Structure 1
Amino acid sequence: MERMSAADLLRLQAKVGTVSRMQARGRLPAGEMNKTEASYAQHLELQRIAGEVLWWSFEGIKLRLANDCHLSVDFAVLPASGVLEMRDVKGARPIITDDAKVKMKVAARAFPFVFKIVLPRSQRDGGGWEEETVAP
């Protein structure tokens, strides 16, 4: 098999596109957190200890949207307000597939929960987490 040159690799990467490259990395097995999710879980646990969050679960709730169509959000969170929130953690400014956007919007219309996308803030911006509510 012939080796690919660096220039050929760059051309191939440009053709494939960012979203496809991300999907090619694959997913972790169900129930296993990536580094960003693990960091957010620590954040939630600190909030639980402080009384700001009453309960949280990682991949604990799977929502049926239609036949053979489900949404499993990263975290189900019950804040002290008592309104259950479904939070999906993204590693950076999200590159969300159309499928994920549609599922979140459909779920926001169908279920009495608040749906949020959670993003880490850069250290330059003070760190922490930014939450964006998904409108139905």
Structure 2
Amino acid sequence: MNKTEEAYSRYLEIKKSAGLLVWFKFEGVKLRLADNTFYTPDFVVMNSDGTMEMHEIKGFWTDDARVKIKVAADMYPFKFLAIKAQSKKAGGGWQIEEF
């Protein structure tokens, strides 16, 4: 894990302690998009209501990464979220984009 992913893991642990989610795993699933093409979300998360989410932690986006998450969101019945750390100037926390 890089530093941003480590920080997000700590954030998820706090949410888990608060009962908002029951489980999460770093790179816990690998989704097939096509022959020899896969997408591995940074975190798979199970919320307290049983819904599953795929969380992608990004400092910046490459075109390839954005295409893969969009294709995965169209193919699989999970909520896909892109998470970006906000600067302290911007108030900190996490900026979330849903696909």
Category of TM-score, reference length = shorter chain: over 0.9
TM-score (norm 1): 0.69
Q: Which structure carries more strand by proportion? A: 2
* Structure 2 portions without partners, runs of 5+: none
Task: Return structure 1 stretches of 4+ with deviation > 4 angstroms.
Answer: none
* Structure 1 portions without partners, runs of 5+: 1-32
Tell me which amino acid in the other structure corresponds to 1:69. Answer: T
The equivalences for 1:71-86 within 5 A come to 71-86=39-54
Matched with 1:57 is 25
Matched with 2:75 is 110
Determine the C-alpha separation between the residues in 2 that align with 1:57 and 1:79: 12
What percentage of residue pairs aligned between the two structures are identical?
46
If you compute each CA radius of gyration, which structure gives the higher value, 1 or 2? 1
Determine the C-alpha separation between the residues in 2 that align with 1:130 and 1:100: 17
Give 1:126 deviation, angstroms: 2.1
Bigger RCO of structures 1 and 2 (CA < 8 A, at least 6 apart)? 2
SS for the counterpart of 2:50 is coil
List per-residue Cα deviations over 1:47-99 (Å, max 9, x = no partner).
Answer: 000001111000010001111000001000112232211011012xx2x2221
Q: Which structure carries more helix by proportion? A: 1
Give 1:117 deviation, angstroms: 0.4
Give 1:101 deviation, angstroms: 1.5
The yes-or-no answer on 1:129 pairing with 2:97 is no
List per-residue Cα deviations over 1:8-34 (Å, max 9, x = no partner).
Answer: xxxxxxxxxxxxxxxxxxxxxxxxx00
Matched with 2:16 is 48
Determine the C-alpha separation between the residues in 2 that align with 1:64 and 1:103: 10
The yes-or-no answer on 1:66 pairing with 2:31 is no
